[in-house]
């Protein structure tokens, strides 16, 4: 990949699959050196959300051109759930959705008809081309998910929804539509949410939770001079000094490490990790040679907040 990357131009927009899974990043090339690729990262609406640094040796798949990148944005969907049936809106607006089935499979699709005990879908491939038309029974459809842009920076009060098959969702803005619960699910520190539709009879429990972290939006990209020689240590130093949120990943990690840098040594970093409920819950040490992907989000912790909450 080093040979391919060295011929790319700064400012070029590319896509990268993370390791060997389905996680996908779209970003603008900021800098390439002998070891790392630095990208200005975009979310699903092509809104800047931070930077990502990839270890070049770990990159196995680069998308140079695609319909998604050419299009440069996804349609922003805002449903008026109080005045209109959400299923009819999906049909009338030809909204691309993700459907999760009882067998665990996930398909991208358009909803074309909703009957009493069934749904009709047009199934899409990765290029948004229709590959089949299918009828799926009501009890075989586990979840409908719609990506959605949000305007608020942070939501502090969530409900935790647990289902009978042990799924768990951090949810807000709940409402009901017939036999279905509709809610927004937002990952912390992203300006996107997902509209979820699940059958009411799948719900085991709904409980309250409050996210405690105190953060503010700030653009990390403006702190770095990408025209000068740059190493990952300099990025991490800025994260330490300014308390920016980082994600660190390696294909051998059990899960992505999320938190803030608390110390920077010759060959490793120390960080405080955040759990999915927004609480600091453990200390970690990560060696530089373990970092295959570093993500710096545009979220900065308020001074002293990480000490008080840990």
Helix, coil or strand: residue 32: strand
Distance CA 96, CA 274 (A): 32
Question: What is the structure's pLDDT at 152?
Answer: 52
Compare 86 and 248 and report the one with higher pLDDT. 248
130-146 burial code (b ≥16 CB/10 A, e <16): eeeeeebeeeebbbbbb
Both structure tokens of 83: 């005045």
Distance CA 67, CA 198 (A): 30
**What does pLDDT average to over the chain?**
83
Distance CA 196, CA 146 (A): 7
Helix, coil or strand: residue 241: helix
Distance CA 56, CA 53 (A): 9
Distance CA 132, CA 304 (A): 55
CATH topology (fold) of 2-69+214-302: SH3 type barrels. (2.30.30)
For 177-199, the pLDDT digits (tens) are 889 999 888 666 655 668 899 99
CA angle 124, 125, 130 (to 5 degrees): 40
Q: Is 238 exposed, middle or buried (0-12, 13-18, 19+ CB in 10 A)?
A: middle
Distance CA 42, CA 47 (A): 5
Q: Provide CATH 2.30.30.100 ranges for the chain.
A: 86-210
Q: Tell me 65's DSSP state.
A: -
> In this model, does residue 133 exceed pLDDT 90?
yes
Q: Quick one: CATH architecture of 86-210?
A: Roll (2.30)
Residue 68: phi, psi to the nearest 5? -65, -45
- Reported residue count of the chain is 310
> In this model, does residue 72 exceed pLDDT 60?
no
Question: What is the structure's pLDDT at 124?
Answer: 92
Distance CA 303, CA 260 (A): 12
Asked whether 145 and 100 are in contact (CB, 8 A), the reply is yes
For 167-178, the pLDDT digits (tens) are 888 888 888 888
Instruction: Match 């405080």 to its residue by tokens.
Output: 272
78-82, 83-87, 202-206: the lowest-pLDDT one: 78-82
Question: What is the structure's pLDDT at 77?
Answer: 53
Question: What is the structure's pLDDT at 19?
Answer: 66
- Angular region, 225: left φ>0, alpha ψ -120 to 50, beta rest: beta
Residue 102: phi, psi to the nearest 5? -65, -25
Residue 51: phi, psi to the nearest 5? -120, 155
Question: What is the structure's pLDDT at 7?
Answer: 77
Q: Provide CATH 2.30.30.600 ranges for the chain.
A: 2-69+214-302
Residue 58: phi, psi to the nearest 5? -95, -5
Distance CA 38, CA 294 (A): 10
For 277-302, the pLDDT digits (tens) are 777 888 999 999 999 999 999 888 87
Distance CA 251, CA 287 (A): 14
């Amino acid at each position: 990949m080093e040979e391919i990357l060295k011929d790319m131009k700064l400012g070029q927009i590319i896509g990268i699959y993370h390791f060997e899974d389905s996680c996908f990043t779209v970003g603008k090339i900021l800098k390439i050196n002998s070891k790392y690729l630095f990208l200005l990262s975009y979310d699903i609406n092509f809104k800047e959300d931070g930077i990502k640094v990839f270890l070049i040796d770990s990159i196995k798949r680069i998308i140079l051109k695609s319909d998604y990148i050419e299009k440069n944005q996804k349609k922003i969907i805002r449903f008026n759930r109080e005045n209109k049936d959400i299923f009819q809106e999906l049909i009338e607006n030809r909204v691309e959705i993700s459907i999760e089935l009882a067998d665990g499979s996930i398909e991208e699709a358009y909803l074309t008809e909703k009957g009493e005990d069934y749904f009709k879908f047009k199934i899409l491939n990765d290029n948004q081309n229709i590959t089949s038309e299918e009828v799926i029974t009501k009890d075989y459809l586990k979840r409908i998910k719609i990506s959605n842009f949000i305007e608020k920076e942070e939501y502090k009060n969530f409900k935790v929804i647990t289902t009978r098959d042990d799924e768990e969702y951090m949810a807000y803005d709940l409402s009901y539509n017939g036999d279905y619960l509709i809610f927004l699910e937002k990952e912390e520190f992203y300006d996107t949410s997902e509209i979820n539709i699940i059958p009411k009879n799948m719900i085991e429990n709904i409980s309250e939770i409050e996210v405690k972290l105190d953060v503010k939006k700030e653009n990390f990209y403006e702190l770095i001079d990408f025209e000068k020689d740059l190493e990952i240590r300099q990025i991490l130093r800025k994260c330490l000094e300014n308390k920016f949120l980082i994600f660190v990943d390696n294909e051998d990690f059990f899960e992505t490490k999320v938190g803030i840098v608390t110390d920077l040594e010759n060959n490793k970093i120390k960080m405080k990790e955040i759990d999915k409920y927004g609480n600091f819950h453990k200390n970690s040490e990560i060696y530089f040679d373990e970092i295959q992907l570093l993500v710096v989000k545009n979220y900065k912790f308020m001074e002293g907040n990480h000490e008080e909450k840990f």
